[in-house]
Amino acid sequence: MTLPDVPLLNRENAILEFNRRVLAQAQRVDVPLLERLRYICIVSSNLDEFFEVRFADMLDAQRDGSGLVTPRDVERVGRAAHDLIDQQYAIFNDQVMPALREHNIQILNHADRTDEIRAWVSKFFEREVRPLLVPVGLDPAHPFPQVANKSLHFIARLSGKDALGRDNRIAIVKVPRVLPRVIKVPAAISGGKQSFVLLTSVIRAHLEELFPGRHVEAFSQFRVTRDSDLEVDEEEIANLRHALRSGLTTRHFGRAVRLEVVNTCPEELSRFLLEQFDLPEAALYRVNGPVNLVRLNELIDQTDAEDLRFRPYEPSWPKGRLPRGKSILDKLRTKGDVMLHHPFESFEPVVQLLREAVEDPDVLAIKQTIYRTGSQSVLADLLIEAARRGKEVLAVVELKARFDEEANINWAERLEAVGAQVVYGIVGLKTHAKLMLITRREGGKLRRYGHLSTGNYNPKTARFYTDLGYLTADAEMTADMDLVFRQLASLSKFKAPKKLLLAPFNLHRTMLELLSQVEEAARRGEPARVVLKINALTDAELINGIVRAGRAGAKVDLIVRGACMLPPGLPGETDNILVRSVVGRFLEHSRIFYFRWGKEEQEALYLSSADWMARNMLRRIEVAWPITDPKLRQRVVDEGLTPYLHDSLDAWQLGPDGTSQRIGTEDVPQHVSAQQALMRLYHEDP
């Protein structure tokens, strides 16, 4: 085990700190109002995953008795989560919703509704909701029901006795997931406003009607979050796909880790629920508003108010480098490599490249990794069509892409059904690399064309994730890609590629070696510089390498979107290291590694699918590839690094205690946003 050179920041607190930065977007007056609400929804979605995975892992580590995670650690992180959620609801109730009401957009509680709206809600309840509700009164024959992960329920305490004279006073009502959570009131009865009612409010108003002859004395919404990591022993199973398919059916009923109720929930009912889910008091989250704010995305989607959204942004086509309607394969063969910067540039050239390969009779084989391609995917459809046309198709499908397992299993089965070769990578290692390789017969010889990316093969997320894609016909690079595919398929002994770096084999070691070279140059008083743009920094060895380079005098700039465990600014230790995070309209996702050292000012610049985390470096298949063309190198620096180092509007600076402070404010005109600058770069009118 690698011991840190400096005390590291807590990873879970670092994740919560990232979500504080996201939540701060909901308070910015320069962010359109519906987008501010969307940031609140994003934080809720992020926190769901935090509890399902990270906090659940933390609880497991506490229980294993190793001492790596103590009860005090869990208490501290839980307290920070409580504070963040309280702040989230305060912003929702006190800032965003009042501002929406000023624009005649409102959520109506029962007390706020006119008689006409109440009559409409009542009809809606009878027609759409009541037929799907099945109240369960608890008794020995009706035990507490199975409650699935993140499913919404009501608990009610009833007066009197049931139809058989029994004193069963507790009832549970499941809220069906098939029903919309946000219902728009018809304009004809809304008085010129855009009015909405929440499904929970509709049920609450008619809850007593579900229990004829009895009175609802007390009630609350509740939702439980469960450990949702799929645990599969890959060494002990014969078929990973079948095992995961089976595991998906039980995922929704893992160990409970969080219970949410409304803040008016009586103590008696919350204690009863905690007992049912075997949870301590600290796992109870009382919220001042709707349980599960994620579903308010439905309000955003239904609201007619374009001026309260970001102005539409259409990614540009790389005109000078890839003329529309012409062969991309010809362009790569004759003019060299092409870099695409998403979402400022369109992802469509990647789709066009694959479509061209499918339709070209001289293309013999297509190989691609599939990680998060989505349940609807034009790229996967094209791979299926290629196999139908008789081309050799190899798909490396990562079945354990968290929360995309089912979609990927479905794609694997569809690909196999048309004769494609489907493999699932290497046992124990997630295939996170993003690679596509096309082999074509040209003049009696075979030539390869490749695409590598820092992000997923997903046209939808490519519109709001920042990523760098790389198209190449370079013989050595594409030969390396072919080597990676062969190793993933055949499980042959590792052979080092010439240009690519591959985790878990040589990527981690090479990054440490480059940091060491920078450190040694700094000790000699020579130029020494490190700039990293990554999503997370949690690997202790790499953190040590960065700390030592900085301690030796190297200037280190880290642009870390999410969790960072390196504490910058410690006197005599990390005071040469600056850590910043950029949170804007798009999700920062690209990974760029830049090193410069020595009198000759040697440089190394890599793009990668990997973050600087132990899991990415040691337990995943990841790639990094060098950018050696001078023009492309300069473009990576000018677009992927420099704007982010000078961002004074969307950037935050991390302090040694793990908290971050926003660098600028929206009310100062001269402040600049990297993302806005890149939007202007690719569009005369952003």
> And the tokens for 169?
């006073």
- How far apart (Å, rounded) are the C-alpha atoms in residues 452 and 607? 9
Q: Note if 432 is an active site residue.
A: yes
CA distances from 42 to 30, 38, 183, 293 (A): 18, 6, 20, 9
Q: What is the DSSP string of 502-539?
A: EETTTHHHHHHHHHHHHHHHHHTT--EEEEEEES-B--
- How far apart (Å, rounded) are the C-alpha atoms in residues 255 and 270? 18
- Backbone phi, psi, residue 595, to 5°: -135, 140
CA distances from 126 to 189, 203, 207, 209, 553 (A): 19, 10, 12, 10, 71
CB atoms < 10 A from the CB of 397, how many?
A: 25
Does 11 belong to an annotated binding site?
A: no
Q: DSSP state, 30?
A: T
* Residue 141 one-letter amino acid: A
> And the tokens for 530?
């490190």
Residue 15, SS3 per DSSP: helix
- How far apart (Å, rounded) are the C-alpha atoms in residues 6 and 306? 49
Kind of pairing between the strands at 435-442 and 445-453: antiparallel
- How far apart (Å, rounded) are the C-alpha atoms in residues 95 and 36? 10
> And the tokens for 369?
């990794």
Of the residues 341, 432, 451, 508, only one is catalytic, namely: 432
Does 465 belong to an annotated binding site?
A: yes
Element (H or E) spanning 383, and its range? helix 378-388
343 in Cβ contact with 370 (< 8 Å): no
671 in Cβ contact with 648 (< 8 Å): yes
- How far apart (Å, rounded) are the C-alpha atoms in residues 671 and 472? 37
574 in Cβ contact with 596 (< 8 Å): no
Neighbour-count burial for 341-351, b at 16+ CB within 10 Å, e otherwise: bbbbbbbbbbb
Angle at the Cα of 592 from the Cα atoms of 589 and 596, rounded to 5 degrees: 160
> And the tokens for 300?
């955003």
CA distances from 590 to 259, 345, 530, 551, 675 (A): 35, 14, 16, 27, 13
Does 206 belong to an annotated binding site?
A: no
Binding residues for ATP: 46, 465, 561, 589
Q: Which residues are catalytic?
A: 432
Binding residues: 46, 372, 402, 465, 561, 589
Binding residues for Mg(2+): 372, 402
